[in-house]
Amino acid sequence: MPTPAPLIEMRGITKSFGAVKANEAVDLSVAPGEILGLLGENGAGKTTLMNVLFGAYAPDAGEILIQGQPVRITSSADALAAGIGMVHQHFHLAPRLTVLENLLIGIPGKSGRIDRAGGLARLAEIGRQHGLTLDPDLPVSTLSVGEQQRLEIVKALFRGAKLLILDEPTAVLAPSEVDGLFSALRSMAAQGLGIIFISHKLNEVRALTHRCTVLRHGRVAGRVDDPANTTSAAMAQLMCGHEIVPPARGPSTPGEAVLTLDAISTSTHSGTALRDVSLAVRSGEILGIAGVSGNGQRALAEVISGVRAPDAGRMTIAGQTVSRFSPREVQALGLGRIPEDRMTTGLVTNLPLADSMVLPRIGTAAFSSKGLLKPDAIRTFAEEQIKAYDIRCPGPMTRAGALSGGNLQKALLARELAFDPKVLIVSQPTRGLDIGAARFIHEKFLDMRAKGCGIIVIGEDLEELLVLCDRIAVMYEGRIAGTLDSADATIARLGLLMTGAEGHG
Amino acid sequence: MSAVLEQIFQVGFLAAIIRIATPLAFATLGEMFSERAGVLNLGIEGIMLLCAMTGFTATSLSGSLWLGVLVAVLTGMLMGALHALFTVALGLSQHVCGIGVTLFSSGLAYFLYRLIFGQQSVPPAIKGFQTLPIPVLSDIPVLGPAVFNQFALVYMVIIAIPLAAFVLYRTPWGLSVRMVGENPRAADSAGVSVIATRFQAVILGGALMGLAGAFLSMAQFNAFTFGVVSGRGWVAIALVVFGRWDPWRSAGAALLFAFVDALQLRMQASGLGHIPYEAFLMLPFIFTIVAMAVMSRNAVAPSALLKPFRREER
Domain segments of chain B: what residues? 17-121+135-229
The predicted structure's pLDDT at residue B144? 83
Q: Is the pLDDT of residue A20 over 90?
A: no
Q: Which residue has the higher pLDDT, B85 or B2?
A: B85
For residue B192, give the nearest of A96, A105, A109 by CB distance. Answer: A105
Q: How far is A93 from chain B (nearest CA, A)?
A: 5
Chain A residues near any Cβ of chain B (below 8 Å): 54, 56, 75-77, 80-81, 86, 88, 91-97, 101-102, 104-109, 112-114, 155, 159
Nearest CA to B173 among B28, B31, B32, B33?
B33
Question: Which one has a higher pLDDT value, A342 or A392?
Answer: A392
Task: Identify the three-state secondary structure at position A39.
Answer: strand
Q: What amino acid is encoded at A84 in this protein?
A: I
Tell me the C-alpha distance between A278 and A263, whole Å: 5
Q: Which residue has the higher pLDDT, B1 or A247?
A: A247
User: Whole-number mean pLDDT of chain B?
Assistant: 91
**Domains of chain A, first to last:** 8-240 (3.40.50.300), 257-334+421-498 (3.40.50.300)
Residue A269, pLDDT > 70, answer no
Element (H, E) at A382: helix A375-388
Label residue B26 by pLDDT band (50, 70, 90): very high
pLDDT digits (tens, 9 = 90+) for B81-130: 999 999 999 999 999 999 999 999 999 999 999 999 988 888 889 999 99
How much is the pTM? 0.80
Q: Cβ–Cβ contacts within 10 Å for residue A90, how many?
A: 9
In sequence order, the 6+-apart residues with CB closer than 8 A to the CB of A336 are A416, A417, A419, A421, A423, A424, A425
Higher pLDDT, A201 or A116: A116
Minimal-distance CA residue of chain B relative to A87: B189
A94 contact residues in B (CB cutoff 8 A): 178-179, 182-183, 186, 303
Q: Are A194 and A8 in contact (CB under 8 A)?
A: yes
Residue A145 dihedral angles phi and psi, to the nearest 5°: -60, -40
Give the pLDDT confidence score for residue B178 in this predicted structure: 96
Per DSSP bridges, beta strands A219-224 and A211-216 are antiparallel
Q: Quick one: pLDDT at residue B111?
A: 96
Tell me: ipTM over 0.95.
Answer: no
Mean pLDDT, range A481-504, rounded to an integer: 81
Reply yes or no on whether the pLDDT at B298 is more than 80: no
Question: What pLDDT is recorded for position B292?
Answer: 80
pLDDT at residue A271, rounded to an integer: 66
B-chain CB neighbours of A53 within 8 Å are none
Q: What's the confidence (pLDDT) of residue B6?
A: 65
**Alpha helices by DSSP H, B183-303:** 184-189, 194-215, 232-242, 247-269, 277-295
Q: How confident is the model at residue A242 (pLDDT cuts 50, 70, 90)?
A: confident
Per-residue confidence (pLDDT) for residue B291, from 0 to 100: 82
| Residue A371, phi then psi, degrees to nearest 5 | 80, 5
A4: phi > 0 → left, psi -120 to 50 → alpha, else beta; which?
beta
**Helix, strand or coil for residue A436?**
helix
**A170-216 pLDDT, tens digit each:** 877 777 788 889 999 999 999 999 999 998 778 889 999 999 999 98
Local confidence band at A270 (pLDDT 50, 70, 90 cut-offs)? low
Say if residue B289's pLDDT is above 90.
no
Return the bridge partners of A164, or none.
A85, A195
pLDDT of residue A251: 79
In DSSP terms, A84 is beta-bridged to A163
Q: From the CA of B35, how many Å to the nearest CA of chain A? A: 15
pLDDT digits (tens, 9 = 90+) for A133-161: 899 999 998 888 889 999 999 999 999 99
Write out chain B residues lying below 8 Å of A103, CB-based: none
- The pLDDT, as a whole number, for residue A192 is 93
> How confident is the model over A437-457, as a mean pLDDT?
91
> How confident is the model over B5-30, as a mean pLDDT?
86
The pLDDT score that the predictor gives to residue A505 is 41
> Across the interface, do A114 and B175 touch by the CB < 8 Å criterion?
yes
Task: Give the mean model confidence (pLDDT) for residues A433-462.
Answer: 88
Q: Cβ of A111: how many Cβ atoms within 10 Å?
A: 5
Residues 6+ away with beta carbon under 8 Å from A494: A290, A462, A465, A472, A474, A484
Are B303 and A77 within 8 A, CB to CB?
Answer: no
Collect all residues from B whose CB is shorter than 8 A from any CB in A: 170-172, 174-176, 178-179, 182-183, 185-192, 300, 302-303, 311-312
Among A322-336, A406-420, B190-204, B263-277, the least confident range: B263-277
How many CB atoms sit inside 10 A of residue A74's CB? 11
Q: What is the pLDDT of residue B194?
A: 94
* Angle at the Cα of B14 from the Cα atoms of B13 and B16, rounded to 5 degrees: 65
Of A88, A93, A114, the CB nearest to B172: A114
Q: Is A211 within 8 Å of A37 (Cβ atoms)?
A: yes
Q: Is residue B34 pLDDT above 60, yes or no?
A: yes
Residue A296 and residue A301: Cα distance in Å, rounded? 9
Give the number of C-alpha atoms closer than 13 A to the C-alpha of residue A157, restricted to the C-beta side.
29
Specify whether the CB–CB gap between B48 and B227 falls below 8 A: no
Between A404 and A75, name the one with better pLDDT: A75
Inter-chain touch A94–B186, beta carbons under 8 Å: yes
Do the chains contact at A76 and B175, CB–CB below 8 Å? no
**A182 Cβ contact partners less than 8 Å away, ≥ 6 residues apart:** A204, A207, A208
Question: Whole-angstrom Cα distance, residue B45 to residue B261?
Answer: 18
Q: How many Cβ atoms sit within 10 Å of the Cβ of residue A358?
A: 23
Does the pLDDT value for residue A381 go beyond 60? yes
Return the pLDDT at B121.
82
Is A271 in a helix, a strand, or coil? coil
